Amino acid sequence: MTCLECKKELSYIDHKNAIDAFGVELCAKHQVRLNRLIIKNNTPKEAIQLYYGLKERGLTPMLEWWDGKKSIDIAISRVKLNIEIDTEYHMLTHEQAINDLEEAMHSFKNGFTTIRIPNDLIKHHFTETINNILGIVEGLNANIKKI
Ligand SMILES: [Zn+2]
Protein backbone atom coordinates (compact mmCIF):
# COMPACT_ATOMS: atom_id res chain seq x y z
CA MET A 1 0.00 0.00 0.00
CA THR A 2 1.73 3.15 -1.23
CA CYS A 3 0.53 6.65 -2.13
CA LEU A 4 -0.28 6.93 -5.85
CA GLU A 5 1.27 10.40 -5.93
CA CYS A 6 4.46 10.15 -3.89
CA LYS A 7 4.88 6.37 -3.42
CA LYS A 8 5.06 6.87 0.35
CA GLU A 9 4.24 3.78 2.41
CA LEU A 10 0.70 4.08 3.85
CA SER A 11 -0.35 3.30 7.40
CA TYR A 12 -3.49 1.23 7.86
CA ILE A 13 -5.52 4.27 8.89
CA ASP A 14 -4.29 6.47 6.02
CA HIS A 15 -5.11 3.69 3.60
CA LYS A 16 -8.57 3.19 5.07
CA ASN A 17 -9.36 6.92 5.08
CA ALA A 18 -8.24 7.34 1.48
CA ILE A 19 -10.21 4.36 0.20
CA ASP A 20 -13.32 5.44 2.10
CA ALA A 21 -13.13 9.02 0.88
CA PHE A 22 -11.76 8.73 -2.66
CA GLY A 23 -11.54 5.04 -3.57
CA VAL A 24 -7.80 5.36 -4.28
CA GLU A 25 -4.61 4.99 -2.20
CA LEU A 26 -3.19 8.32 -1.05
CA CYS A 27 -1.04 9.51 1.87
CA ALA A 28 -2.41 12.01 4.41
CA LYS A 29 -0.70 14.95 2.69
CA HIS A 30 -2.12 14.10 -0.72
CA GLN A 31 -5.56 13.43 0.77
CA VAL A 32 -5.61 16.98 2.12
CA ARG A 33 -4.53 18.38 -1.23
CA LEU A 34 -7.16 16.38 -3.12
CA ASN A 35 -9.85 17.32 -0.60
CA ARG A 36 -9.18 21.00 -1.23
CA LEU A 37 -9.62 20.48 -4.96
CA ILE A 38 -12.83 18.48 -4.47
CA ILE A 39 -14.41 21.07 -2.17
CA LYS A 40 -13.51 23.89 -4.55
CA ASN A 41 -14.84 22.19 -7.69
CA ASN A 42 -17.42 19.74 -6.37
CA THR A 43 -15.45 16.92 -8.03
CA PRO A 44 -17.26 13.56 -8.09
CA LYS A 45 -15.43 10.60 -6.52
CA GLU A 46 -15.62 8.78 -9.86
CA ALA A 47 -13.57 11.54 -11.52
CA ILE A 48 -10.78 10.86 -9.01
CA GLN A 49 -10.89 7.13 -9.70
CA LEU A 50 -10.94 7.66 -13.45
CA TYR A 51 -8.06 10.14 -13.22
CA TYR A 52 -5.82 7.66 -11.40
CA GLY A 53 -7.01 4.81 -13.62
CA LEU A 54 -5.98 6.71 -16.75
CA LYS A 55 -2.64 7.64 -15.17
CA GLU A 56 -2.00 4.01 -14.40
CA ARG A 57 -2.55 3.17 -18.08
CA GLY A 58 0.14 5.61 -19.17
CA LEU A 59 -1.87 8.73 -19.99
CA THR A 60 -1.16 12.17 -18.51
CA PRO A 61 -4.61 13.43 -17.49
CA MET A 62 -5.21 16.63 -15.52
CA LEU A 63 -7.80 16.79 -12.78
CA GLU A 64 -10.03 19.89 -12.64
CA TRP A 65 -8.37 21.69 -15.50
CA TRP A 66 -9.37 25.34 -15.92
CA ASP A 67 -10.18 25.95 -19.59
CA GLY A 68 -10.57 29.71 -19.18
CA LYS A 69 -14.30 29.57 -18.51
CA LYS A 70 -14.85 26.62 -16.25
CA SER A 71 -13.18 23.67 -14.62
CA ILE A 72 -13.13 20.44 -16.64
CA ASP A 73 -13.31 17.25 -14.54
CA ILE A 74 -10.51 15.56 -16.49
CA ALA A 75 -8.56 16.91 -19.46
CA ILE A 76 -6.02 15.17 -21.65
CA SER A 77 -4.42 18.21 -23.20
CA ARG A 78 -2.10 16.47 -25.67
CA VAL A 79 -5.12 15.36 -27.72
CA LYS A 80 -7.44 18.16 -26.53
CA LEU A 81 -9.88 15.76 -24.93
CA ASN A 82 -12.18 16.94 -22.14
CA ILE A 83 -13.97 14.41 -19.97
CA GLU A 84 -16.94 15.45 -17.85
CA ILE A 85 -18.44 13.08 -15.31
CA ASP A 86 -22.23 13.31 -15.17
CA THR A 87 -23.81 12.64 -11.80
CA GLU A 88 -27.38 13.75 -12.46
CA TYR A 89 -27.99 12.38 -15.92
CA HIS A 90 -31.05 10.43 -14.69
CA MET A 91 -33.06 13.61 -14.66
CA LEU A 92 -31.53 15.45 -17.56
CA THR A 93 -33.90 18.26 -18.53
CA HIS A 94 -34.15 19.63 -22.05
CA GLU A 95 -32.51 22.80 -20.83
CA GLN A 96 -29.50 20.89 -19.47
CA ALA A 97 -29.30 18.84 -22.65
CA ILE A 98 -29.21 22.00 -24.75
CA ASN A 99 -26.56 23.47 -22.45
CA ASP A 100 -24.45 20.32 -22.85
CA LEU A 101 -24.84 20.49 -26.60
CA GLU A 102 -23.85 24.16 -26.66
CA GLU A 103 -20.81 23.43 -24.52
CA ALA A 104 -19.86 20.63 -26.89
CA MET A 105 -20.21 23.03 -29.83
CA HIS A 106 -17.95 25.63 -28.22
CA SER A 107 -15.31 23.08 -27.36
CA PHE A 108 -15.38 21.65 -30.91
CA LYS A 109 -14.91 25.14 -32.31
CA ASN A 110 -11.81 25.47 -30.16
CA GLY A 111 -10.50 22.13 -31.35
CA PHE A 112 -11.49 20.23 -28.22
CA THR A 113 -13.49 17.04 -28.01
CA THR A 114 -15.75 16.69 -24.98
CA ILE A 115 -17.16 13.39 -23.82
CA ARG A 116 -19.60 12.99 -20.96
CA ILE A 117 -19.52 9.83 -18.89
CA PRO A 118 -22.21 8.87 -16.35
CA ASN A 119 -20.63 8.22 -12.94
CA ASP A 120 -22.47 4.89 -12.70
CA LEU A 121 -20.54 3.64 -15.71
CA ILE A 122 -17.25 4.29 -13.92
CA LYS A 123 -18.62 2.60 -10.82
CA HIS A 124 -19.75 -0.55 -12.60
CA HIS A 125 -17.70 -0.79 -15.81
CA PHE A 126 -14.41 0.77 -14.82
CA THR A 127 -12.05 -1.19 -17.09
CA GLU A 128 -14.33 -0.95 -20.12
CA THR A 129 -14.68 2.80 -19.61
CA ILE A 130 -10.89 3.21 -19.39
CA ASN A 131 -10.36 1.01 -22.46
CA ASN A 132 -12.77 3.12 -24.49
CA ILE A 133 -11.13 6.36 -23.42
CA LEU A 134 -7.74 4.90 -24.42
CA GLY A 135 -9.26 4.10 -27.82
CA ILE A 136 -10.60 7.65 -28.17
CA VAL A 137 -7.18 9.09 -27.28
CA GLU A 138 -5.56 6.80 -29.86
CA GLY A 139 -8.07 7.94 -32.50
CA LEU A 140 -7.54 11.62 -31.69
CA ASN A 141 -3.80 11.09 -31.78
CA ALA A 142 -4.00 9.54 -35.25
CA ASN A 143 -6.07 12.48 -36.49
CA ILE A 144 -3.59 15.00 -35.09
CA LYS A 145 -0.73 13.26 -36.91
CA LYS A 146 -2.60 13.46 -40.24
CA ILE A 147 -2.84 17.27 -40.09
ZN1 LIG B 1 1.50 11.11 -1.19
CA of 10 to the centre of ligand 1 (A): 9
Do 31 and 54 fall within a single domain?
no
Residue 25 is part of which domain span? Answer: 1-41
Do 81 and 107 fall within a single domain?
yes
Q: What is the CATH number of the domain that holds 105?
A: 3.40.960.10
Q: pLDDT at position 145, please?
A: 80
The string of DSSP codes covering the chain is: -B-TTT-PBPPHHHHHHHHHHHSS---HHHHHHHHHHHHHHT--HHHHHHHHHHHHTT---EEEEE-SSSEEEEEEGGGTEEEEEES-GGG--HHHHHHHHHHHHHHHHTT-EEEEEEHHHHHH-HHHHHHHHHHHHHHHHHHHHH-
CA of 32 to the centre of ligand 1 (A): 10
Do 66 and 35 fall within a single domain?
no
CA of 138 to the centre of ligand 1 (A): 30
CA of 55 to the centre of ligand 1 (A): 15
Query: Where does the pLDDT of residue 67 fall: very low under 50, low under 70, confident under 90, or very high at 90 and above?
Result: confident
CA of 27 to the centre of ligand 1 (A): 4
Q: pLDDT at position 147, please?
A: 63
Of 88, 80, 120, 116, the closest CA to residue 101 belongs to 116
CA of 7 to the centre of ligand 1 (A): 6
| Single pTM value for the model | 0.89
Do 58 and 27 fall within a single domain?
no
Do 32 and 82 fall within a single domain?
no
CA of 2 to the centre of ligand 1 (A): 8
Is the CB of residue 73 less than 8 Å from the CB of residue 63? yes
Is the model's pLDDT at 125 over the cut of 90? yes
Number of structural domains (the chain) is 2
Over residues 27-57, the pLDDT tens digits come to 999 999 999 999 999 999 999 999 999 999 9
CA of 25 to the centre of ligand 1 (A): 9
Do 35 and 81 fall within a single domain?
no
Do 61 and 81 fall within a single domain?
yes
